[in-house]
Amino acid sequence: MGQWKNSELCTIRRNPTIEVWLFTKLLSSHQLELFHCSSTYRSLRVGALSVEPSTRSPLFFNIPSRHKEAAMTGSVDCVTDLSQVSPVLLRKYIDGCHMLHQHDLVDAYGHLSVRLSNTTFLMSRYLAPALVASPEDLVIYNIEDAQPVKPDAPRGFSERFIHSEVYKAYPAVQSVVHSHSLEVVPFSISTVPLSACFHMAGFLGTAVPVWDAASVYKDHPSDNQDMLVRNIKLASSLAKALGENGQVKHPVVLMRGHGMVVTSESLEMCIFNCIYTQQNARVQRSAMGLGGEVKYFTQREAHDTGTTTGMGAVKPWPLWEQEVANETMYRNQISQPGSGRD
């Protein structure tokens, strides 16, 4: 592990009640991670850069490219080899794959990715997420064309284009999940929209968009219509449903008869968004089954609950880590930070 430096302090977001700062943490000569704190956490004081990290509740981010100016050393313009990636991030990625499986968000299918740089991202090879275990299972891809950086890379997922096109369209997105959640798919084929009605999922907003592959098929009728997103043409169309002008408006978009794509500015929050999207779907379907009128969040309620819980992955992440660590079927061969083996 690297040492704490006198990191630059930069405020990235302000509102009347919550302030968020990013700190940089030096992990190696090439890698920095950002340390995220909020004024809602008692231990953080403005400018208290010397506070011991262990006394705060940290949420680690891989480096958003837009903040690289704040980094003191190293470059994130191009990460092409796993040796350039911090073990902390690699371990977190593998844990994330396992968490998605433990929460029934993926089975043999579905995948997680994380951005490494302006031009590359990381995904597992063609393997069920529960079985991802070691660096040999990880592949670095070019964002431009979703092709592996190394020509001898193992086979990858056919739908990795979903990830590459989202990273290409939205520079702030740091992590992407594609899931076939059975709780969520019904909302992709119904006229009832998936809508925020549970306070942990305000980020969904008042209606989650549904992207329909048929919107592309209609212009290319001779194409295979198996609903899979395995080329740039389909994936770029899907990515457009998330937002516009490089800004994400909807962190979650459903895919008709298929699943969903979930995004966030950190890997932890991407897992968080997946888990609570699924829980909101479960709550909404349960309420609809009661037969009365379902009262959904207003736009303001969705916004405010989303803002509050958006600061909250600090709390569940260690729980989710412990849960997957306790399951013998999940193996993470990247050494635990601080174990003395890294």
Active-site positions read 159
Based on the number of CB atoms within 10 Å of its own CB, is 39 exposed (0-12), middle (13-18) or buried (19 or more)?
middle
Rounded Cα distance, 164 and 149, in Å = 13
Retrieve residue 88's tokens: 């902390």
Rounded Cα distance, 242 and 239, in Å = 6
Query: Which one-letter amino acid corresponds to residue 257?
Result: G
Residue 277 dihedral angles phi and psi, to the nearest 5°: -65, -45
> Rg of the chain's alpha carbons, rounded to an integer?
20
Element (H, E) at 11: strand 10-14
| DSSP-derived secondary structure letter, 148 | B
Residue 146 dihedral angles phi and psi, to the nearest 5°: 60, 20
Retrieve residue 4's tokens: 């704490």
Rounded Cα distance, 304 and 12, in Å = 18
> Residue for token digits 């340390």?
35
